Chain A
């Protein structure tokens, strides 16, 4: 049962009503008790998370539009699984993922300077700078300088080491298990259907930010997993935000989601002018019809955005221009660097501007949202200090924080998986 019973729904929405949960359902299924913070505080838990979560689940690592052409690649440093990951579009157009490791002696095939490195493979080959071993972009070892000097070398077995890779709606995921227990489609389950069908790949203008936070990754994840904080933390950047309602709670296997409705902001004078550029346009303006039917199933006109938690570390906030003017969606990701350090990545996605006025308006909206993120991230290191202090042992969570409760419960399940046997 949920609060959609008897409501008039958008076509197709009925297929998702089983995901909906009323507050009573949420309290009944997830409980109302305080949630232990030991999993945040204890470094030993982090080591378990690396093994049982980050090496076992599907992780979003790139998007198709980051590497649109044959030979385009992205390298992502992933300390949580002790590797450098190469995601590359081969000459057959297929996206594959490999350890960015030369099979000669272990050097990085593509040198990196940062957490993410982008480039293009010339002639669809990648060459290790150490001794010049050459790999095709689809993995095989193609050439070895002075090959005769090795005596015996089976090149057929020395291709780049592949990592399971699959794509959902243009988002590229990998799984580091030798044999993933589930396909990506199985892992995403109803979430993939709930959020499926939105033209994510058309919103290719990306304003991306990152920072290293001195906190456990879950402190950052949890801070972005609820709407309870909006009236207080965002009093500076979102004053006059009226009628905010965090509702339509959904439990979707290891994932969860919910909706932010609201009357919107009483916009400042500059924002009103910039917003008018975007709102007046058929492409950039609110596109509620593009929101998949299981999201905002009643077609409420005050829909702002959908706020999910895709286990373990990915959020897609789907707005379709209904929230921040012109913004199609925004994403967050939280990458552990070690127990107490986290790489946060936030990206605001807009449809491409067709003229300079639209781009300036996007720059304004992006700045407003970036500033709100500054307010969000301002809490995280302080929270982690508090958690480590030993002054508290638990989080006390209200209904709007159900996704934290759910994520913590899902994490516990993954960490104890196999112990019952």
Chain B
């Protein structure tokens, strides 16, 4: 599932460089990236996105789940990546693993290959 990497809604242009690495449509694709990320990768994402999170959430609040423009969908996918990656910076010391836990790749998400903006997840 490719992602159009060069567009974000107006006002979020500073986050465009993060799209190519992080923004993916599904949980499985994002997990593949997160499991390989370094502490530096998490830190860079975190420090770039956290200050913009109120604006990002404000913009996404105006977006229906389905029918987003490509730029809006990129913003959603980046926000989803941040939503899942933030604990690794805030809680896990930059580790790609959850410390002292089961191997994450052995968990199988039933929704893992669905676009995360699918209206129905069940």
Contacts and interface: CB of A to CB of B under 8 A. Distances in A.
B98 A363 contact: no
Nearest to A114: B108
A268 B87 CA distance: 8
Interface of B: 27, 46, 50, 53-54, 57-65, 68, 72, 76, 79-80, 82-84, 86-87, 90-92, 98-102, 104, 106-111, 116-117, 119-122
Given A355-B65, A360-B60, A373-B102, 5 more contacts: A204-B120, A271-B86, A360-B79, A367-B83, A380-B102
Given A357-B60, A363-B83, A363-B116, A205 B122 contact: yes
B62 A378 contact: no
Contacts of A210: 107-108, 110
Contacts of B65: 353-356, 359
Interface in A349-392: 352-361, 363-364, 367-368, 370-371, 373-378, 380
Contacts of A357: 57-61, 63
A270 B86 contact: yes
A353 B57 CA distance: 13
Q: Which 8 A-B pairs have the closest CB atoms?
A: A364-B83, A270-B86, A208-B110, A357-B60, A374-B101, A356-B60, A377-B102, A357-B61
Contact of A277 (B57, B101, B111): B57
Residue among B64, B76, B108 with the most chain A CB within 10 A? B108
Interface residues of A, number: 46
Contacts of B107: 209-211, 370, 373-374, 377
Interface string A257-282: 00000000000111101100100000
A159 B17 CA distance: 60
B122 A239 contact: no
A300 B9 CA distance: 44
Nearest to B49: A270
A283 interface: no
Contacts of A205: 120-122
A207 interface: yes
Contacts of A274: 57, 83
Given A356-B68, A375-B100, A368 B87 contact: yes
19 contacts: A66-B122, A205-B120, A206-B110, A206-B122, A208-B111, A270-B87, A271-B90, A277-B61, A356-B60, A356-B76, A356-B79, A357-B59, A357-B60, A359-B117, A363-B83, A364-B83, A371-B101, A376-B102, A378-B100
A264 to B, nearest CB: 16
A70 B72 CA distance: 35
Contact of B54 (A206, A273, A359, A374): A273
B68 A268 contact: no
B104 A374 contact: yes
A277 B62 CA distance: 13
B57 A360 contact: yes
A116 B64 CA distance: 30
Interface string A95-112: 000000000000000000
A220 to B, nearest CB: 11
